[in-house]
Structure 1
Amino acid sequence: MLLRLPTSVSEAQECLAEGAVPIGGATLVWAAWQRDGFPEQAVSLREVPEANIIGREVLGSAVMLHQVGGPVPEVLRRAAASVGTGAVRRTATVGGNLVGSTLRCLLPPAVVLDARCTVLEPHTVYETDLAEVVAKRHLLLSLRWREPIASGYRKLSAEAGGEPPLVIACAVHADGDAGNRLRVAVRDGYEVLSASTAYDTDAEQVLHALQGTELGSLHTTARDVVRQEVTTLLDRLADR
């Protein structure tokens, strides 16, 4: 297998046009290739600057999970730090976790940040939403979002080999003249549910509003953890 390492978006597009298969951090595809056979050529975005950027409102797809820090919102930092072992986080990438993984630990944080995706194709680069990227498994170049006022993340413990651990992500954003808005996303099993509501200092009022969304269908344990995380986030904002 020939591994190609383009250094620009245009070079990466040439690789894709010539049939190279995206490899990401290879933590997910390697075992499948060993089982099913290796492609003739693969392409990694690890040398493409746009795929390696880390900022307050942007994160490249080739950034390895252990590098997610600094200016990135708390909800994304904590999610990346919770994935697998240190060895996994030193090879797994943002794009691989969001698009290639069935667990997608970074998806709830990306949802509450209302992130948009820049997608790379052989003949175009365009922006779209998370739902399309996840459903169609596009080649992600980067994520972009508006910096939240505050955010939080929690992953419950789970038995190895069992159901994926429950994940709760939440963030409050300024919403112009409409005031601030709270977004919450929950990974329950392999499904991610999300909802948003107007921010209010009264936690009970906010939780009541969320109960009327699809989050109201969660089981008791998940609802209790959502209550805890939302209350904690609102209390943090009240103390500012």
Structure 2
Amino acid sequence: MELRLPSSISEAQRCLAEGAVPVGGATLVWAGWQRDGFPERAVSLRDLPEANTVGPEELGGAVPLHRVDATVPEVLQRAASGVGTGAVRRAATVGGNIVGSTLRCLLPAALVLEAKAVVLDPEGVFETDLTELLAKRHVLLALRWRTPLASGHRKLEGDAGGPPPLVVATAVHADGETPGRLRVAVRDGYEVLSETTPYDADADADAERVLDALAGTDLGALPATAREAVRAEVTAVLARAADV
């Protein structure tokens, strides 16, 4: 197998046009290749500057999870720090986790941040939403978002050999608008649910109104343990947003 390491967008486009298979951190594809055979060409974006950014409103697709630090919103940092072991986090990448993994540990965080995906194909670079990113399995150059007022992330303990642990991600957005928006995303097993509801930081007992609104969505049909986790995380993130 020939592994290509482009250092420019144009070079990366040529690799894709020639049929090179994106590898991310190769933590998930390697076993499959050993079983089914290695591709003739593969491409990694680890030397591509545009895919290695870490900032308050952008995260590159080739960034290893151990580099996702407090520069990014709390929800994204905590999601990355909760993936696997230290050895896995040093190898696994943002793009590989979101696009190449069935676990998609970072997806709930990206959803509540209302992130857009900057993607690469043989024709060029363009921005799209997360739904299209996953459906078409684009090569992820970077995630971009606007900084929320507050965010949070909780990952429950899972059973060994069982389904993926429950994850609750939250973020409060204002954007100069009243009311603001609360985004909640839950990974329950391999399914990710996402809901949005208005919130008013100046209203009395607004947390209860927000929770009542969420109870009328698909989140209200979650198991009791999941609903309690949602309640705790929503209450906490709204309290933090009110202090901003």
Q: TM-score range by the shorter chain?
A: over 0.9
* Partner residue, 1:142: 142
- Measured against aligned partners, the alpha-carbon deviations of 1:48-85 in whole angstroms (never above 9, x if no partner) come to 00000011100000000000013100000000000000
For 1:50 and 1:177, the matched residues in 2 are separated by 32
* Partner residue, 1:70: 70
For 1:19 and 1:119, the matched residues in 2 are separated by 17
Moved more, 168-177 or 42-51: 168-177
Q: Select which of 209, 223, 238 maps to 2:227.
A: 223
Asked if 2 retains the 8 angstrom alpha-carbon contact of 1:24 and 1:44, the reply is: yes
For 1:81 and 1:168, the matched residues in 2 are separated by 15
* Partner residue, 2:115: 115
Structure 1 unmatched ranges of 5 or more: none
* Partner residue, 1:207: 211
1:40 maps to amino acid: E
- Measured against aligned partners, the alpha-carbon deviations of 1:177-205 in whole angstroms (never above 9, x if no partner) come to 33321100000010000111112342111
1:233 maps to amino acid: V
Aligned to 2:143, the other structure's residue is in SS state strand
For 1:73 and 1:114, the matched residues in 2 are separated by 12
CA offset at residue 232 of structure 1? 1.2
Count of aligned pairs between the two proteins = 240
Aligned to 1:178, the other structure's residue is in SS state coil
- Measured against aligned partners, the alpha-carbon deviations of 1:133-161 in whole angstroms (never above 9, x if no partner) come to 11221111110000111000000001121
* Partner residue, 1:181: 181
CA offset at residue 236 of structure 1? 2.2
Q: Does 1:155 align with 2:152?
A: no
- Measured against aligned partners, the alpha-carbon deviations of 1:6-60 in whole angstroms (never above 9, x if no partner) come to 0011100001111111111000100000000001110000000000001110000
Aligned to 2:131, the other structure's residue is in SS state helix
- Measured against aligned partners, the alpha-carbon deviations of 1:93-144 in whole angstroms (never above 9, x if no partner) come to 0000000000001000000000000110011211110011112211111100
Please give the TM-score of this superposition, normalised by the length of structure 1. 0.97
* Partner residue, 1:56: 56
Aligned to 2:220, the other structure's residue is in SS state helix
Q: Does 1:84 align with 2:84?
A: yes
Asked if 2 retains the 8 angstrom alpha-carbon contact of 1:200 and 1:206, the reply is: no
Q: 1:118–1:239: structure 2 CA closer, same or farther, 3 Å change rule?
A: closer
Aligned to 2:211, the other structure's residue is in SS state helix
**Runs ≥4 in structure 1, deviation > 6 angstroms?**
none
* Partner residue, 1:125: 125
Q: Over aligned residue pairs, what C-alpha RMSD do you find?
A: 1.0
For 2:53 and 2:240, the matched residues in 1 are separated by 29
For 1:95 and 1:75, the matched residues in 2 are separated by 17
Structure 2 unmatched ranges of 5 or more: none
Aligned to 1:176, the other structure's residue is in SS state coil
1:123 maps to amino acid: E
- Identity among equivalent positions (%) equals 70
* Partner residue, 1:43: 43
Please give the TM-score of this superposition, normalised by the length of structure 2. 0.96
